Structure 1
Amino acid sequence: MTTRQTILIAGPTASGKSALALRLAEETGGVIINTDSMQVYDVLNLLTARPGPDDLKITPHYLYGHVSPAIAYSTGRWLADVESVLDRPELTEKTVIFVGGTGLYFRALLGGLSAMPDIPANVRAYWRQQDAEQGAEKLHAILAGKDSLAASTLRPTDSQRIVRALEVIDASGRSIIEWQKETGRPLIDASVARKIVIDPDRQWLGTRIATRFEMMMKGGAIDEVKALLSLGLSGDLPAMRAIGVREIAEVLAGRLRTEEAAELATIATRQYAKRQMTWFRNQLSDGDGWERLSYP
């Protein structure tokens, strides 16, 4: 566990987290570590709102765009990558700023990662095939019969986590909820870290989301999706599920107009931001030392 000066900045998409991280990095001479599960992927620079070239000149950034979209990157791999970054001798005296919108990454950072069973390849392949054939809602019903506790915590449309819960119960005979209670070693000392969660006005955030996606479309997001699709990847990979990929793919296929795709992606992003804000309000409490910043 590191006791160096550490700052954590959590918040929904488009809420100004990266700008705040840059300002604090300049003030402290610190470095920034990505804490967002989509910004780890290469190719999708614009669509995942990764820091641009000008930002990267201001201070070192780590764990951005370092993973191929062909890989299903996990929280466990991210945590291992963070540990490798923190072990770098040149960062020993540096302030480290974690910034992102993935709640599970923050939870793992502060509380350690739950032990999980190894999943046999045939079990993983079976449930992924069932997901493709039956869909998330039918699998959610199956999960309710096998592991009602896990099913009660998951949205019926959350296919990735439903499949994961089914894999775990089949491979181990134990609920994924039971496994998650067995926490590992935290990397950050929560008692000395400065912890900030951005809690913006929803209408203000919705406007920012729409404006940002319009800029993404004008700035080359369509070319990014074209490059991603050229890789011929499975549609169930996390990178292929990034907001905007499916919508822009429909534009490239001639089934949607650009304006329609932008509207659909904006709606999906607003819904995602709402889920993020709910999670942060419920999980990152003032009692645990989280400072809340409200914009505007």
Structure 2
Amino acid sequence: MNDEQLTRMGHGAGFIAALDQSGGSTPRALANYGITEGAWQTEDEMFDLVHRMRTRVITDPAFTADHILAAILFQRTMDSEVEGLPTAAYLWQRKRIVPILKIDKGLQDAQGGVRLMKPIPDVDAVLGHAAEGGIFGTKERSVILEPQTLGIRSIVEQQFDLARTVLAHDLVPILEPEVDIHAPDREVAETVLLTEIRAGLDTLEDGQRVIFKLTIPARPDFYAPLIADPRVVRVVALSGGYSRDEACERLALNHGLIASFSRALLEGLRADQSDEEFSQTLGASIETIARASAS
């Protein structure tokens, strides 16, 4: 584990850029960027297009460590290059931005009010490859749809089981048990989730630390106990389907909570923009999210 990166993740100003759209979400991300499905014939061509989009973001002059703490990458992005360097190496060596890898393989069908993660084949090989490639930590997402205690408990247990595997590879896990913003009785779901997370933290060994990526809570500062917990490096927030403006407005009400936005970060970027227009749009987005993260 890189101590400089750990310090930056725990105490640095800014937010995390989520650039980890996977196979299922890539067509939507490209469509938002102005590239429709007719622009590619094969999956490889699709991923080449999205890598060009991510490369344009990562190499842009507005994308700097002044406001970007870390970037979450899809595995194919990690295994690709930016300006002749592996993506993770480019981020850290050229920009001092911490590289993180998304490792989940999507979601199972809903059961018990939740969607658990699908099994991750060869997870130890994936984590070993990530560690060798200079990755700091991982991100793994599951979703809570209803306030069912047993379902939420199963989500949290699965997240912590995977977190222990990640920690064994000297990587820092980001646990992401997302609460759907449209969930009925969402505050009840978040209350159960917080209780289960605190129980899960008690299962960690001495010295083990994790990061949480959570839905911006319905009640401001609800996750303050997690933010203050010494076993928690950082608590970050997903945009969860809110527009960038609404996500930032809600985020700013939560002291110590910082953003880890994907769609909201890239909102307004288009393939046909000039470099100047692209940089201005990205820079404005970064400034807005950074301000909301500084509360």
- State whether TM-score is above 0.5: no
> Which structure has the higher relative contact order (CA within 8 Å, separation 6+)?
1
Q: Normalising by the residue count of structure 1, what TM-score does the alignment of the two structures yield?
A: 0.31
Q: Normalising by the residue count of structure 2, what TM-score does the alignment of the two structures yield?
A: 0.31
* Bigger radius of gyration among the two: 1
